[in-house]
Amino acid sequence: IDFSVNAGQIVGLIGPNGAGKSTTFNLITGVLPLTSGAIVFRDKPLASATAEEIARLGIARSFQHTQLLPQMSVLENVALGAHLRRSAGALRSLLRLDRQDEAALLREAAIQLERVGLAGSMYELAGNLSLGKQRIVEVARALALDPSLLLLDEPAAGLRYLEKQELAAVLSALRDEGMSILLVEHDMDFVMN
């Protein structure tokens, strides 16, 4: 496979089941080690970078199946995406030793929820949202990392028509802001729009 994604561009990676689309995402994000070839992001080779280093460089992703914590609020779920942008370690956070850092994470999460049009749902339990809104929450969580490249693995899977329209509007707005988006999707109407 050989492709490029430019700033402000949405690129669809399509192919049949088992073709390696999700594996490609796992290679780009360092979830799987690269055994040959090269992945370059902003002129930096990623072959030896860890998943955390890749995320810090500005690549964020969502997964094929929603991975929200249903008993946590939407705001808390999105705040999890911003943890790499803060200096407090996991132990300090668990012990609640850095309240300022926690407040900053929550502020960032609220900004991202506003950005994707879900500010009115931030205090809802994530598990109470429709699948379409859960997918948009996952986009907001990825945005909390402040990426320049967003990888979305089948974001429209299982969504109804209006939910797909909402998601498409969010992605178009992000593209218009200059965000690069690489998506794997089986819904060809969604991809082509």
- Render pLDDT for 162-184 as a digit per residue (tens, 0 to 9): 988 988 999 999 999 999 999 99
Contact predicate 93/84, CB 8 Å:
no
* DSSP 8-class letter at 107: H
Q: Distance (Å, rounded) from C-alpha 29 to C-alpha 10?
A: 18
Q: Distance (Å, rounded) from C-alpha 44 to C-alpha 148?
A: 14
Residue 123 reports pLDDT greater than 70: yes
Please indicate, yes or no, whether the overall pTM of this predicted structure exceeds 0.75. Answer: yes
Residues contacting residue 62 through CB under 8 Å, at least 6 positions apart:
135, 138, 139, 141, 142, 151, 152, 153, 155
Residue 185 reports pLDDT greater than 80: yes
Residue 12 reports pLDDT greater than 90: yes
pLDDT tens sequence across 41-87: 999 999 989 998 999 999 999 877 778 899 999 999 999 887 765 55
